[in-house]
A and B are shown apart, each in its own frame.
Chain A
Amino acid sequence: MIKIENLDCMYKTSNNQMVQALKGINLTINPGEFVAIIGANGSGKSTLAKHMNGIMLPKEGDVFVFGKNTKEEQNNLFIKKSVGMVFQNPDNQFVTSVVEEDIAFALENLEIPFDEMHERVRMALECVGMYEYKDASIESLSGGQKQKIAIAGAIVMQPKFLVFDEPTSMLDPQSREEICSLLKRLNETMNIGIIFITQFMEEVALAKRVIVMNDGKIVKDISPGCLFEDIDFLESMKLKAPQITYFCLELNKLGENINPGILDLKECADELAAALKGNKL
């Protein structure tokens, strides 16, 4: 599990002003959880994420990954293996130009035997549905495909957790959907804990738990369904609910018995159909 205790993060701007990016964060994420983190731009989401696998180290407070403190240097390799990270821009995450080589890169550094390395690369690529592209040049792939390769590069390390910092924000709708269902699969079939930062409110529905950040603090830790019912709170955080939530809430206000916590489109249609049928004489 990932355990964050009393984490503060300050940094100095070029004008020598101090900015506090994180303020007193306490958070525990258990193995196998699927947690979304949302919040306005500048609320501290990415800074928090970077503390989860030791890209940033706490000056105040502690981060533990399965009980090991990220601040202690001897834990470094364990932490990098346990918690992988995938970023927003698919172009900035590669070290080589050929798909297979890039996935194998980290394993080579760990001196994993050749046969095992080969097998793990194959499994990672199959898992993201990109094995047939193993000899392709990364340059020739689309944004969505590159993001899948970046994910394969993370899962080849057999992590317990994967942190995704807005992995879909540069992708077109179809690629976004593919990445979302991939995250779901990694969570459900491989039991990898997922920490998912996104600005797409419809995608939050994938998670079982949502953390809302504002001004460096965690202001809410809740289920997606309950979160979206409280539109006033969301809007005060510069966020919004998905379009269907607004619709269901409106109908509710007008006396219709529709559950406003619904996030699945088919369920929503069924709920509407039931309300319409209720009128049948």
Chain B
Amino acid sequence: MIQFHNVTYTYNFNTDTCKDAIKNINLKILPGEFLAIIGQTGSGKSTLVEHMNGLKKPTVGEVFVSGQDIWQKKFDITKVRFKVGLVFQYPEHQMFEQDVFSEIAFGLRNNGIAETKIESLIFEALDFVGLPHDILNSSPFDFSGGQKRKIAIASTIAMQPDVIILDEPTAGLDPYSSELLLKKFKDYNKNKGKTVILVSHSMEEVVRFADRVIVMHNGEIKMEGEPRKIFTKVEELNEMGLDVPQILKVFLELRKLGFPARADIYTVEEAKQEFFRLKNLTKGGKSFVK
């Protein structure tokens, strides 16, 4: 479990240019949860997640991981990094090893995993992201952007962290690869009981995969709850520069045209049902059009 207690992080603390990146955050993330974080660029999402594995230290407040205050003096912060894996935005920009094997093995070796066990963990990680085993001797730089992304994700997954944080993992990936990857993370969450934290700009992804969503704006948590409930607040979301799923917008347009359409339609299946419900109503001779 990860817990934030009154966390504020201030850039350039004690200078004229100081600015709070996140302000007074209180947050509890439960084991086995699939949590989404949404918000405009600059709203504090990345700063927030960088506190979850001790990459950033709060200016004020405490962060607890499994009940342990991770910045307590005697505590070894590196322990947190193996428990909570963070996949950065565009992780492929930060690869550095000569071959794929060493790239994925890097974290495992640092974590003191025996060489004899490393290979099987690497194979498992490659299967997870859907890459073939015969790439291990190639340079990570020989691959396309999408494949590099998968290699970078495999190097975090290989550590089998209890919590994995993904900062816009599907940005720039083709729709097929995005879908595949998210389904794998849902599996990791459901079947292995691991916690998944997803930072995303895709509202369709959030509705489909997350149990809970938090909405960040100007460094604060402005809303939190079930995605299906949060997305009914279209106007507030728009004001924060956020979007809602495309299909919902069509039904909101229908409402404007006078039809009593539901305002919580997020999937094609729901849209279909709602269309035929409206059709049955109009069959009865009712007219909704002004």
Tell me the A residues contacting B by CB distance below 8 Å. Answer: 13-15, 19, 39-42, 46, 88-89, 142-144, 166, 169-176, 199, 201-202, 235, 238-240, 242-244, 246-247, 250-251, 254, 256, 265-266, 268-270, 272-273, 275-277, 279-281
CB distance from A206 to the nearest CB of B (A): 15
Q: Contacts of A176 on B, CB cut-off 8 Å? A: 201
Q: Is B110 an interface residue (CB 8 A)?
A: no
Instruction: List 20 extra interface pairs beyond A41-B147, A173-B243, CB under 8 A.
Output: A14-B139, A14-B142, A15-B137, A15-B139, A40-B177, A42-B146, A89-B90, A169-B172, A170-B90, A171-B41, A172-B41, A175-B41, A235-B176, A240-B175, A243-B246, A243-B268, A268-B253, A269-B253, A276-B259, A277-B289
Q: Contacts of A281 on B, CB cut-off 8 Å? A: 285
**Beta-carbon contact of B250 and A268 below 8 Å:** yes
- Bound-state CA distance A39–B175 (Å) is 10
Q: Which among B64-72, B73-81, B223-231, B272-280 touches the partner chain?
A: B272-280
- Bound-state CA distance A90–B18 (Å) is 24
**Beta-carbon contact of B146 and A273 below 8 Å:** no
**Beta-carbon contact of A142 and B144 below 8 Å:** no
Smallest Cβ-Cβ distance to B168: which chain A residue: A170
**Beta-carbon contact of A265 and B41 below 8 Å:** no
CB distance from A106 to the nearest CB of B (A): 26
- Bound-state CA distance A39–B145 (Å) is 13
Contact with A along B77-116 (1 / 0, CB 8 A): 0000000000001100000000000000000000000000
**Beta-carbon contact of B139 and A244 below 8 Å:** no
Smallest Cβ-Cβ distance to A11: which chain B residue: B142
For the complex of A and B, 5 pairs with smallest distance between CB atoms:
A41-B146, A42-B144, A269-B253, A238-B176, A173-B243
Smallest Cβ-Cβ distance to B141: which chain A residue: A14
CB distance from B268 to the nearest CB of A (A): 5
**Beta-carbon contact of B275 and A174 below 8 Å:** no
- Taking a contact as CB atoms closer than 8 A, the residue among B138, B171, B203, B253 that contacts A265 in the complex is B253
- Bound-state CA distance A173–B253 (Å) is 19
Using known A-B contacts A199-B172, A240-B176, A265-B250, determine if residue A280 contacts B282 with beta carbons closer than 8 Å: yes
Q: Is B242 an interface residue (CB 8 A)?
A: yes
Using known A-B contacts A272-B250, A279-B279, determine if residue A247 contacts B241 with beta carbons closer than 8 Å: no
Contact with A along B232-263 (1 / 0, CB 8 A): 00000000011101110111011011010000
Q: Is B1 an interface residue (CB 8 A)?
A: no
**Beta-carbon contact of A173 and B268 below 8 Å:** no
Using known A-B contacts A14-B141, A40-B146, determine if residue A172 contacts B254 with beta carbons closer than 8 Å: no
**Beta-carbon contact of B145 and A143 below 8 Å:** no
**Beta-carbon contact of A269 and B254 below 8 Å:** yes
- Taking a contact as CB atoms closer than 8 A, the residue among A39, A243, A254, A273 that contacts B247 in the complex is A243
Smallest Cβ-Cβ distance to B174: which chain A residue: A40
Q: Is B15 an interface residue (CB 8 A)?
A: no
**Beta-carbon contact of A172 and B201 below 8 Å:** yes
**Beta-carbon contact of B174 and A39 below 8 Å:** yes
Q: Contacts of A269 on B, CB cut-off 8 Å? A: 250-251, 253-254, 256-257
- Bound-state CA distance A273–B289 (Å) is 9
**Beta-carbon contact of A14 and B138 below 8 Å:** yes
CB distance from A158 to the nearest CB of B (A): 30
Q: Contacts of B138 on A, CB cut-off 8 Å? A: 13-15
- Taking a contact as CB atoms closer than 8 A, the residue among B137, B179, B254 that contacts A272 in the complex is B254
CB distance from B232 to the nearest CB of A (A): 17
- Taking a contact as CB atoms closer than 8 A, the residue among A19, A40, A143, A251 that contacts B176 in the complex is A40
- Bound-state CA distance A128–B172 (Å) is 24
